Structure 1
Amino acid sequence: MLVYILLQILLVLLKGFNFVLKRICGYSLHSGLVKDQAASKAEYDKCVHRCRIRFRAKPVENLVACRNNFLLSHLSYECPSALLADNVSLMGFTPTSALFAVVPEDFDVYDSDHGAFFFMVQFSQAIEVLSIPLHHFIRFADDLGDPKGNVVLLSNTGRCGSTLLTRMMEGVPNTIALSEPDFITNIDLRLFSVRSRFRVTQANYPEFIQNNPDKLLEAGIRVQCKPIKFRQVDNMILKTRNVSASLAANVARVCPYVRHVFMYRAPRKNFTSYMSMVGAFPSILNNLFMPDVVEVMMNVASPIHTNFDDVIELLIKDVRRDYNHLRCWAEVWCMLILCYLEYTNKGLVNFFPIDYDELIRAPEKNLRALLSHCHMSPENLEKCLRALSRDSQKGCNLSQDNLRSRKREFTDKQEIMLNEVMRKFNFPDIDSWIDVFHLPTNENNNNNKSNNVIICEK
């Protein structure tokens, strides 16, 4: 946190210095010559701005990266072909530009052995940042066209084994799995979250993006799944952060070639895992930041135009008035399950639902069925199953070793509170959920549907 505060002070000081330098010399330490910066906005052949990373910091490592997390110095303006290099990967968006991370040429940013989460590896290993104006980015994506390989979107409730599942699917030959790429979270927060207070930032985007945000979503998926020269890639797995499960309907509409998976876990075990995760962070961070983070999660995670709109609006208002880690997480979990039901009930998304405990109980059977749905080869299944013997989040604050000592049971008061949350969504109590709440199974996905939800237009 102190390093991040120092970075923000440096950025403020340098912004003032660069303002003066531009007025006197027509040059900025961040953007180079003023005339070159202007040309990059107008000329496609010079539209990519390359900067060296001099300093980086986040207040919390799990947050989405943005430009203010870096102290950058100008290197050059280049043509869009610079974005095709294997060591360049899409990182996120600002209202004016798309940002790319550049890692050393001998470093494979797609190798999950470097870290459990793609956005963390990108941030820690990047040596440069490339940026391109959004109108040029759209053109670049259109030139690329749709991905040449198979693309799978893995939506999930969080704390349900989704990172483990990406490691298992990564065992299929010629498969790359990206766990929580920032660009999806970034675009979901800023452009598609109708309830979110971040929605006001949409006015900062160019008019052509405001009128058609789908275009930026399509371009982001095309560019994130660009061809890779150093290896053959037949399958690209994009595992979203849990809140972006609500974006699946938009992805299905904009990119119909994408296959969809939804991973979940029974509420008691899910909520227990969440409490262990909360304990892994310093209490000062939980108390300072978590109410804000959870409020954002609720705004983003919930589907729009359902029978539960009024319930959701009241829950969001209560976050700050009466914040409780466990209750608020349960409310987010219910909203994510509601997304699954909405989209499945109305045929908006052809999800393959998979329960973590069922996967662990019969891994080979369930993984074969999932791979079939995703049009992925079941060969080399033994390699996929090896992931079960490893800690899929080793090396970060959410590793099994770090969370194992923090597990605890709910008190009677907490049990009552959780069941009250479930009933607000017409869900059964947490211990009867599996028996009563009829999620479609892998065998009867098309025949067993809930009747208590209506169409969601997000």
Structure 2
Amino acid sequence: MARLLTVRCRDIFLKGGDPTFRPARLSDFVPVQLAPTLPKSSSVFQTDVGESVPDPVKFLQQHGGKFIVYSVDVDQRVLGLVKVKEGIDIKTAPFLYQTQRANAEELLLLPFDVLPAVADTLTETLSSLKNIFLYNTGRCGSTLMCKAMDVINDVQAVSEPNVFQVIIERVCTEVPVTFDEKEEIIMLLRCSVILLNFYFLQKDPSKKVVCYKFRSEAIFIADLIQNAAPEAKTIFMYRDLAGFYDSNINLHFNGSYWRYLFETTLRLDVFFRVPARKTNLPIFKFFDEHPRMITCPVTHGMHFLQVSSWTLQMQKAFDLIQEDLANFFHACLTFKYLLEHKERIILKVLEKLDVDVPSDLDSSKIREVFGVDSQKGSVMQSERRKGDKVRSSWVGTWEKNLFSTVLEHFNGDVDEPDFVMPNTMMLN
């Protein structure tokens, strides 16, 4: 039975810092107690918490414009949608899921067995809607790209719906999924996309294109997502390994080169920082213990995790292109070209994706987006830039040797730090 609960975010996520970057979980919320006998540690999965929703299809038809998909719990076999507090614009924040989590006031739990009926009913209202899926390596301007696309009259661009993360972790970090599990995952992905589309269409019926920019790890289930939404157009964004590494390491060490040098030289990151990352962000376990990486003859600290994550994500993108060129990717571009060409590259991408752009569009509105830090106010805001100053790169001879060692050990198609993906866009 579907249930509706009054909830609040757990305190740990309201204090800022690293916890805000943790993937979305339905356990991020606790029920607002209506009965004094319930313990403070009550779970949203307790059957005696909340009210039953006997007809979830009808409920969503009437209230779907208020509830947006948040996360899934495969063990409890429920999909969760949240309603945020009145007056909160979830699209203005750099990352959708963080705003959902911090401002949630109601949680709708839908059992897996009702999802196909919900999806089939809502699909009838979405025939005119077009999807774009923006895949990326991370730290490559994808949030900026998302905000720039949102300027276009017919486009809603949404940064990081996180319902996919639990599925990514299940596919990447557990035993290979069976055929039945794969079919269930595709069903969950299909229903999630439909529910997201229904929400955003209710929010602005005039915008017929919705672009979802995913967290970088989504590349590992891109084929499953495409199976769930075969009509969607796809983009892949990336940058060279040195730039990716430098941006990430600056972020993880809060812009302090001496902290980076101290921790990695004494291997403190191996004993403290890496285990914490692997616990809070299980995808890091995949990067560290991947069969082609686990025996790599380097210290498996934060520096190794960054190189491994870039290599595995780039290789997966390359494999997708080789296996299914029709769907991967309709546009492929680099961070360098985005910054160099700004509105020109944005308009070129939209053209390749068959998105109609008004002939009288004021392209200066797109250019304005490039003057603002797209992740400002979040824990992911770049540590390389302070005001008008950009810190010098931390990538030196040692780091370059590390890149070469890892890539040589990996022995894949992605074999250079400045690897160029096939079909990468160029402008004359």
Cα shift at 1:156: 0.3
* CA distance in structure 1 between the aligned counterparts of 2:102 and 2:225, rounded to whole angstroms: 28
* CA distance in structure 2 between the aligned counterparts of 1:314 and 1:208, rounded to whole angstroms: 27
Paired residues of 1:56 and 1:70 also in contact (CA < 8 A): no
Q: 1:410 to 1:343 in 2, by over 3 A?
A: same
Unaligned 5+ runs, structure 2: 33-48, 264-268
Q: 1:374 to 1:72 in 2, by over 3 A?
A: same
Match of 2:400 among 393, 415, 423: 415
Unaligned 5+ runs, structure 1: 1-39, 41-46, 303-310, 445-458
Q: Scaled by the length of structure 1, what TM-score is found?
A: 0.73
2:306 is aligned to 329
Match of 2:356 among 369, 372, 377: 377
1:139 is aligned to 117
Q: 1:253 to 1:155 in 2, by over 3 A?
A: same
Q: 1:138 to 1:240 in 2, by over 3 A?
A: same
Paired residues of 2:22 and 2:280 also in contact (CA < 8 A): no
Q: Scaled by the length of structure 2, what TM-score is found?
A: 0.78
Question: How many pairs are equivalent?
Answer: 374
1:14 is aligned to none
Match of 1:53 among 8, 17, 26: 8
Q: 1:107 to 1:362 in 2, by over 3 A?
A: same
Residue 108 (structure 1) aligned with residue 80 (structure 2)? no
Between Structure 1 and Structure 2, the one with more helix by share is 1
* CA distance in structure 2 between the aligned counterparts of 1:209 and 1:429, rounded to whole angstroms: 36
* CA distance in structure 2 between the aligned counterparts of 1:215 and 1:323, rounded to whole angstroms: 37
> Matched residue of 1:57: which SS?
helix
Q: 1:175 to 1:316 in 2, by over 3 A?
A: farther
Residue 346 (structure 1) aligned with residue 346 (structure 2)? no
Cα shift at 1:293: 5.8
> Matched residue of 1:176: which SS?
strand
Cα shift at 1:72: 0.8
Matches within 5 A, 1:158-173: 158-173=138-153
Cα shift at 1:165: 0.4
* CA distance in structure 2 between the aligned counterparts of 1:294 and 1:280, rounded to whole angstroms: 18
2:338 partner letter:
L
Cα shift at 1:414: 1.9
1:390 partner letter:
V
1:155 is aligned to 135
1:441 is aligned to 424
> Matched residue of 1:221: which SS?
helix
Residue 90 (structure 1) aligned with residue 69 (structure 2)? yes
* CA distance in structure 1 between the aligned counterparts of 2:425 and 2:9, rounded to whole angstroms: 50
1:127 is aligned to 105
Residue 388 (structure 1) aligned with residue 370 (structure 2)? yes
Cα shift at 1:144: 1.0
Cα shift at 1:211: 4.8
Paired residues of 2:7 and 2:106 also in contact (CA < 8 A): yes
Per-residue CA deviation, residues 301-348 of structure 1 (Å, 9 max, x unaligned), is 79xxxxxxxx940414669x9422122211111111111111111225
* CA distance in structure 2 between the aligned counterparts of 1:440 and 1:217, rounded to whole angstroms: 27
* CA distance in structure 1 between the aligned counterparts of 2:26 and 2:415, rounded to whole angstroms: 44
2:242 is aligned to 268
Residue 213 (structure 1) aligned with residue 198 (structure 2)? no
Query: RMSD between aligned alpha carbons?
Result: 3.1
Q: 1:94 to 1:224 in 2, by over 3 A?
A: same
> Matched residue of 2:293: which SS?
helix
